Chain A
Amino acid sequence: METLAKKLANRIASSLGCDEEKKAVVAYGLFAVIQIAITLLLVLLLGILAGAPVEAMIVCFSASILRKYSGGAHAANAELCTFISAVYCTLTAYLSKKLLYPIYRPFPMVLAIVIIYCLSFWVVYKLAPVDSPNKPIKTEKKKKRLRKGSFIILTAYASLSCFLLILGYDSGVFASYGISLLLGVSWQVFTLTRYGSLLLGKLNYFFDRKEVLK
């Protein structure tokens, strides 16, 4: 994906006569578009195959919107990142709709909401934003802004979870959406922690050795 974005940017830059910096900005933007489009398409397709496309998209959007502010551990390459995102979103969507929804009860769901959001707020307060070597967060002002953004997003998710819990009393489909939202938030918060970083590090190492996704 990164190579494709760079090739396209090269062609555009030579046609328009852009300098190296402008070319790098265009390549960065093109890479973002390509990665977002491919990941969303793959999650949707696998979600349809798993019989839970809406749940898969809820997991995907809830994790990625929070990630924009909180940051988190990173994969070694774009292909591995897309693979991890697609597999996690599909598996948790299937888990929400086919395995957890049939045994859904309001009280355990309330307990899960309270525990997951309390832990999430605590982890975000302690660790967010988690930057990466390729995009370091240098200023304190930006760190504060991103942490505040993460809190706002988490508060919105917590409100949405309560809303889906109430709607879930009447219609089962909302209960399944609520479980998916919780699983999306849980994954994103997990990637902020040392254990999330360790897991992604192990996956990077494993796939790098196997060269499966290069």
Chain B
Amino acid sequence: MRKFYGAIAAVATIIAAALASSACLLFSYQPEEPQSLQD
């Protein structure tokens, strides 16, 4: 289960990092961006 959670965390982190360079998420709701992903 730890490996599975690790894989999910890795994928989620990659997606979060990829979206950090954009103006906002793809749709019209923007949750608060984590501090480490800000400019």
Interface, chain A (partner B; CB < 8 A): 2, 8-9, 11-13, 15-16, 18, 21-22, 24-33, 35-36, 39, 64-65, 67-78, 80-82, 84-85, 128-132, 134-139, 142, 146, 191, 200
Contacts and interface: CB of A to CB of B under 8 A. Distances in A.
Contacts of A146: 22-23
Given A29-B16, A85-B27, 16 more contacts: A18-B9, A26-B8, A26-B12, A32-B19, A68-B23, A74-B30, A76-B29, A81-B27, A81-B29, A85-B28, A132-B24, A134-B30, A135-B24, A137-B23, A146-B22, A191-B28
Contacts of B31: 2, 28, 31, 78, 134
A27 B12 CA distance: 8
B23 to A, nearest CB: 3
Contact of B15 (A13, A33, A81): A33
Interface of B: 1-2, 5-6, 8-9, 11-17, 19, 22-39
Contacts of B32: 134-135
Contact of A71 (B5, B16, B23, B35): B23
Contact of A30 (B1, B12, B25, B33): B12
Contacts of A70: 23
A137 B13 CA distance: 20
Contact of A29 (B13, B24, B26, B36): B13
A15 B29 contact: no
